[in-house]
A and B are shown apart, each in its own frame.
Chain A
Amino acid sequence: MLEKIKNNFNTQTWVLIPIAIAINIAVGQIVVLLKLPVYLDSIGTVLVAVLCGPWAGALAGALTNIIWGLAIDPNALPWWPVAFFIGYMAGRMAEWGFFKSWWKVVVTGFVVALTAAIVSTPIAVYIYGGITASGSSFITAYLLETGRGIWQAVFSTNFLVEPVDKITTAMISFAIILGLPKRTIGGYPKPEQVEVEGGADKNQMYIAIGVVVLLVLFAAFLLRNVLGG
């Protein structure tokens, strides 16, 4: 166990983590500037997770929230377990070979989203009483108002919001890895996890983007049904 954790960390991992945290925060702020309906604040975490392993990813995720809380906004602190499990799950999926082609990356994104939705539900319920200070809470509030239980309301909201965000995050991380020189990747603990299968096919990428667009439409459809019905 301890050996398995240790092999995630070499000097390059320790140097990558601060840079990944800075990337998380800076990209999160660019997305706010562009007013896009996603967060994309875990690209750095996913990069650490797939290049170095699940434990390094988990550490990068947790520290992102802790430093975000320390330096910018203390409201980010209670959510560190969510970021921890995002990093851990992304690393595990990469270990199982799910970071080698576009469709596998979409699967990874979905699994990570599910994990994030599951982990953030108890935090939202126990610490915030279900309704948090984020915009998606209006959906939760509506579901509560129409008689859903608190757990169901919070989880449905998370499940509606997370997949689009996390699949996009995973795809952008994959695009970044495709763009990195092999020599750079070789310095990290797990370069074999991101060896692309059968070349990065452009068509596959378009299909993956299509899947995301369909998912957005599906979420919008669900949302309209829930709010309208």
Chain B
Amino acid sequence: MRERLSFHIKRDSALHRLNPLTKLLLVLALILSAFLTPFYWTPHILAILVIPILSVIGRVGREYLSTAFRLILPAATFLFLMQAFFHPIGKEIIFAFYFLDMTLESLMFAFGNAMRIVVMVSAFTIFLLTTHPSELMSDLSRRGLPGQFAYVIISTLQILPQVQAKAQTIISAQRSRGLETEGGFFKRAGALIPLIGPLVFGSLVEVEERAIAIEARGFTSKHVKTSLHEIPDTPTDIFLRWFLTTLIAASIGLKLWLS
């Protein structure tokens, strides 16, 4: 299990300094243009050129590459191979291996599809690498997102490592008492209840206590709360957001016009 629970890398770059909402809009623009474009090569250009350049601008090039190799490429490769072999389009077989066959059409289809997924996932990765979750949440709540949502996201990110640590402790404790977590199917299925029972009950006990604690800190108060951190929103941000909105509108319009 991972020790660090967010992708965020603390650095100073043009991308880090942008307002979180601007970056979110950038991600949306990248994904929509990859999925809606009428040109075959758009997702490829985005994945191979635009997103790596963004990662360099954000000074997270190396971290982006490592995430890409660990998470994005394996899934995309699997997707590509499965679709290239199994998508039933095209007639002329260019490559065959036992019952597997690949046509030029299915190869092109699989490549385009895998690239779209790469664009979608890596755009989000860039966003996560350059934006701290609490920065995003405080900016969104300043713009009117109810405070409860911000609470849920931020406290989940805090609670999750604790619950995972608790799960590890329970697994070790039950193993030391002789619970078998390996072996036949029924043995493994039988180990499920002794493992998740203590975890779930142990976590649910905290609910009431936490509810009283945050209630005492004015959680349901309707007054406007002030924030210690100011999230900058510069004219550049506003200009970029206009530009990206236009881009999104244009790609939707182009799709509707051509279809």
Binding site for B on A (CB under 8 A): 9, 11-12, 14-19, 21-23, 25-27, 29-31, 33-36, 43, 59, 63, 66-67, 69-75, 77-78, 127-133, 137-138, 140-142, 144-145, 147, 172, 175-176, 179-180, 184, 187
**Judging by beta carbons under 8 Å apart, are A33 and B211 in contact?**
no
Q: How far is the CA of A16 from the CA of B75 in the complex (A)?
A: 33
Chain B residues with Cβ below 8 Å from A63 are 152-153, 156
Chain B residues with Cβ below 8 Å from A67 are 153, 156-157, 160
Chain A residues with Cβ below 8 Å from B128 are 70, 74
6 tightest Cβ-Cβ pairs between the two chains A and B: A141-B86, A22-B163, A18-B156, A133-B75, A129-B113, A131-B82
- Within 8 Å by CB of A72, from B2, B116, B203, lies B2
- Within 8 Å by CB of B124, from A9, A74, A130, A144, lies A74
Chain A residues with Cβ below 8 Å from B204 are 16, 19, 176, 180, 184
**Judging by beta carbons under 8 Å apart, are B159 and A129 in contact?**
no
- Within 8 Å by CB of A9, from B35, B72, B75, B148, lies B148
Chain B residues with Cβ below 8 Å from A180 are 201, 204
Beta-carbon nearest neighbor of B154 in chain A: A18
- Within 8 Å by CB of B160, from A22, A31, A69, A133, lies A22
**Judging by beta carbons under 8 Å apart, are B210 and A23 in contact?**
no
- Within 8 Å by CB of A145, from B86, B151, B219, lies B86
- State whether A11 and B79 are in contact (beta carbons under 8 Å apart), knowing that A19-B203, A67-B157 are contacts in the complex: no
**Judging by beta carbons under 8 Å apart, are B79 and A71 in contact?**
no
- State whether A129 and B156 are in contact (beta carbons under 8 Å apart), knowing that A11-B215, A14-B148, A26-B199 are contacts in the complex: no
> Which B115-157 residues sit within 8 Å CB-CB of chain A?
116-117, 120-121, 124-125, 128, 133, 148, 151-153, 155-157
Residue B44, interface by CB 8 Å: no
**Judging by beta carbons under 8 Å apart, are A34 and B191 in contact?**
yes
B6, B162, B163, B167: residue with the most chain A Cβ atoms closer than 10 Å: B163
B71, B87, B191: residue with the most chain A Cβ atoms closer than 10 Å: B87
**Judging by beta carbons under 8 Å apart, are A18 and B82 in contact?**
no
- Within 8 Å by CB of A26, from B133, B163, B181, lies B163
Listed by A's residue number, 10 A-B pairs whose Cβ atoms lie within 8 Å are A11-B211, A14-B148, A36-B189, A67-B157, A70-B133, A72-B2, A133-B75, A137-B82, A142-B86, A145-B86
User: Please, how many residues of chain B have a CB less than 8 angstroms from a CB on the other chain?
Assistant: 69
Beta-carbon nearest neighbor of B71 in chain A: A73
Chain A residues with Cβ below 8 Å from B211 are 11-12, 14-15, 187
- Within 8 Å by CB of A131, from B79, B151, B214, lies B79
Q: How far is the CA of A145 from the CA of B191 in the complex (A)?
A: 38
Q: How far is the CA of A26 from the CA of B202 in the complex (A)?
A: 13
Chain A residues with Cβ below 8 Å from B99 are 145
A125 to chain B, nearest CB (A): 11
B8 to chain A, nearest CB (A): 10
Chain B residues with Cβ below 8 Å from A128 are 79, 113, 117
Residue B192, interface by CB 8 Å: yes
A42 to chain B, nearest CB (A): 13
Given A43-B200, A77-B124, A184-B204, 19 further pairs, Cβ under 8 A: A17-B152, A19-B204, A25-B163, A27-B196, A27-B200, A36-B192, A67-B153, A67-B160, A73-B71, A74-B71, A74-B72, A74-B125, A75-B71, A140-B86, A141-B82, A145-B86, A147-B88, A172-B193, A187-B211
**Judging by beta carbons under 8 Å apart, are B163 and A11 in contact?**
no
Q: How far is the CA of A8 from the CA of B206 in the complex (A)?
A: 20
Chain A residues with Cβ below 8 Å from B164 are 22, 25-26, 29
